[in-house]
Amino acid sequence: MLRNLAITTLLLAAFACVLSACGNTMNENDEMDSPRLTAQLDSVSSITENAVLTLTEQDGGYLVSATELAAAKVLYGKVAYDATCEHFVGSTPVELADDQLTICIDRPDQGVVEFGWLIANFDAKPGLDGSIDLMRLDFANGAAETARRVSEAPGGPYNHILESEISGSLSEENIPTLTWAERHAADGSNDGLVAVTDFTQIGQQFGESPGATFIAGSQAVDADYNRDGVVSVNDITPISQNLDVVLSGYAILTGPDINTLTEYTRVDRTVQFPTAPTTTSGAIEWTWTGIADIEEDTRFWVQPYDGSGALGEYPSDVGILLEPESPDNTISAVLGINVPEGLPTDGEGNYIILITEWAVDDVWTIEDDVIEGNAESFSFDAIQLTADVEYTEEPGTVYQRTSGLIWYISAGDGLAKVGNGIGGEDSDMHGLLTFNNRGKIEVTAHKVGDTDMSASVGFVLMSVESLALTADTTSPTAGTDVQFTATGTFDWDGIDNGDEVEQDLTNWCNWSAVSVPADADFSIDTYAGTMDTTGGTGANVTVRTEYPRTENVTLYDNERKLSNPVTVTIN
């Protein structure tokens, strides 16, 4: 049996006592002599075959009773008073049965006190016959504070739509659809307005719980107004907190984040539910479908509004990101992959990438003619690749793309990786090539769902092994340009097996020169290795170079690779 629940009586608020000159007077015990009160039964909301409300003066207050009851399960009524002369002080519960509950709320702007009484779980019990004392009401002299309660949209923690209660999708035509669960705490009748009569649903579902499948915050039971997972006397509080709160509809909002939202459209309750809405597991489901396709990634929120159109306190807890189908579906071919300008190539057309950590000898082993990688990780380096793609929607038009294609290492797996851009751990690294070992690799990009429409590019990941400088050392005549050539030998697998690659690096080196005498008038192109001998007659000029010219690349021996010096005598 439920115990002592009848003592739970809620007041919406305690109002200030404003004394005024009225026809009533206060006696020495500060009690009202003769307040003008009338009681009226709400027969529409009550569940009873017959009932009469009576008021009886009792110890300075007024006892509200119901008589001539027949099968009474729920009673609602009002006690009217003159708010210009008196104000409501409070209610006192009377001794009711253990399974009976009451609610009492003052409405000074209307000059009435609304109250309710019901039998918990009344659907499964017989109604009450005869008579019953409901509660005692107390009033005092002085006009009531009659500020009218302002209608507002749902707000506060009980009405916040959580991430688990909203979802979105796009059609093949990129038409957006949002679905969300209504959050309107204390609106047990699902009519969009919180009223005292929403007390009825608490009586129907008292003690019920959604059980183990309950998700905190969801409206799994209509009368679980405070969302704690069980219908109890604690759910009476949200009725008083949300009294007169109106849910007229939801605004659809868009924006990059919750702090920068723009209203997109609105969904009105009368349009969404032209008849009484039905619930699924106690929740009302709203759905909005747009009338036009969205052309770019868009986040959508929903936020309630009231009868005047004013928005409520909170938008939904999360913005649903809807991403239109990529125009890559119209790609007709992947024409080729672009690499950064300036990468040198080897004799086979592979682009040379220098590993930016010194290599260590004997870190590779060969077993059964298979090169096994080492566990050493080189310092991070990356190259952003792009692809030229042709679109059928604009024949002959070529765009550069990184996302929207499938990127992968088609040869040399384990030496490097490339972000594929279509999901997985590298989904945010579209076409980004990273590497950590030496060797030959090949990168391929292809159209989604069509591997025949693809392009590939090869790379050699290597370290500088040696640098050799040569030039025409026959004594040039002053005024003649001398061209020096720098050839780099690269080790791409870390093994002394004759597979080293030679590459002309003349335009990739830092050049320097010294002369005897030191004041000889000559000049050398810092990067091109060309020496202008004008004014250098009789000087011995020693030229040297080093690789690389960029500061961010280190060599396998952790020093800059210096070439052999070459000395030229200028006639």
What is the 3-state secondary structure of 410-450? EECECCEEEECCCCCCCCCCECEEEECCCEEEEEEEEECCE
Residues 175 and 261 in one domain: yes
Q: How does residue 95 score in pLDDT terms, banded at 50, 70 and 90?
A: confident
Whole-prediction pTM: 0.52
Predicted pLDDT of residue 371: 44
Confidence check: pLDDT of 460 > 90: no
Confidence check: pLDDT of 366 > 50: no
Confidence check: pLDDT of 357 > 70: no
Domains contained in the chain, number: 4
Predicted pLDDT of residue 257: 83
Residues 363 and 445 in one domain: yes
Confidence check: pLDDT of 424 > 80: no
Residues 414 and 318 in one domain: no
Contact yes or no for 444/385 (Cβ under 8 A): no
Residues 168 and 312 in one domain: yes
Residues 450 and 532 in one domain: no
Q: Which domain holds residue 413?
A: 329-461
Examine residue 152 and state whether it is found in any structural domain, yes or no: no
Query: How high does pLDDT run on average in the chain?
Result: 79
Q: 19-33, 258-272, 536-550: which range is least confident on average?
A: 19-33
Residues 405 and 264 in one domain: no
Q: How does residue 419 score in pLDDT terms, banded at 50, 70 and 90?
A: confident
Contact yes or no for 374/432 (Cβ under 8 A): no
Examine residue 186 and state whether it is found in any structural domain, yes or no: yes
Residues 188 and 316 in one domain: yes
Predicted pLDDT of residue 210: 59
The residue type of 482 is: V
Predicted pLDDT of residue 227: 79
Q: What is the pLDDT of residues 179-213, one digit of tens each?
A: 998 888 898 888 899 999 999 999 988 988 754 34
Q: How does residue 65 score in pLDDT terms, banded at 50, 70 and 90?
A: very high
Residues 343 and 414 in one domain: yes
Q: What is the pLDDT of residues 123-173, one digit of tens each?
A: 999 999 999 999 999 999 999 887 666 668 888 777 888 888 899 999 888
Residues 12 and 23 in one domain: yes
Examine residue 146 and state whether it is found in any structural domain, yes or no: no
Q: What is the CATH number of the domain that holds 82?
A: 2.60.40
Instruction: Examine the fold and report which residue of 306, 322, 338 is the final residue of a domain before the chain moves on.
Output: 322
Q: 203 Cβ partners below 8 Å, 6+ apart?
A: 73, 74, 101, 118, 119, 120, 121, 122
Examine residue 406 and state whether it is found in any structural domain, yes or no: yes
Examine residue 148 and state whether it is found in any structural domain, yes or no: no
What region, left, alpha or beta, does residue 116 occupy, with left being phi > 0 and alpha being psi -120 to 50 degrees?
beta
Rounded Cα gap, residues 373 and 493, in angstroms: 9
Examine residue 149 and state whether it is found in any structural domain, yes or no: no
Instruction: Catalogue the E-assigned strands of 9-149.
Output: 38-41, 50-58, 61-72, 74-80, 86-93, 100-107, 112-119, 128-141
Instruction: Examine the fold and report which residue of 418, 434, 461 is the final residue of a domain before the chain moves on.
Output: 461
pLDDT over 70, % of the chain = 79
Confidence check: pLDDT of 369 > 70: no
Confidence check: pLDDT of 367 > 70: no
Q: What is the DSSP letter of 280?
A: B
Predicted pLDDT of residue 255: 87
Residues 555 and 477 in one domain: yes
Residues 482 and 543 in one domain: yes
Instruction: Examine the fold and report which residue of 461, 489, 506 is the final residue of a domain before the chain moves on.
Output: 461
Examine residue 209 and state whether it is found in any structural domain, yes or no: yes
Examine residue 528 and state whether it is found in any structural domain, yes or no: yes
Predicted pLDDT of residue 518: 81
Residues 457 and 481 in one domain: no
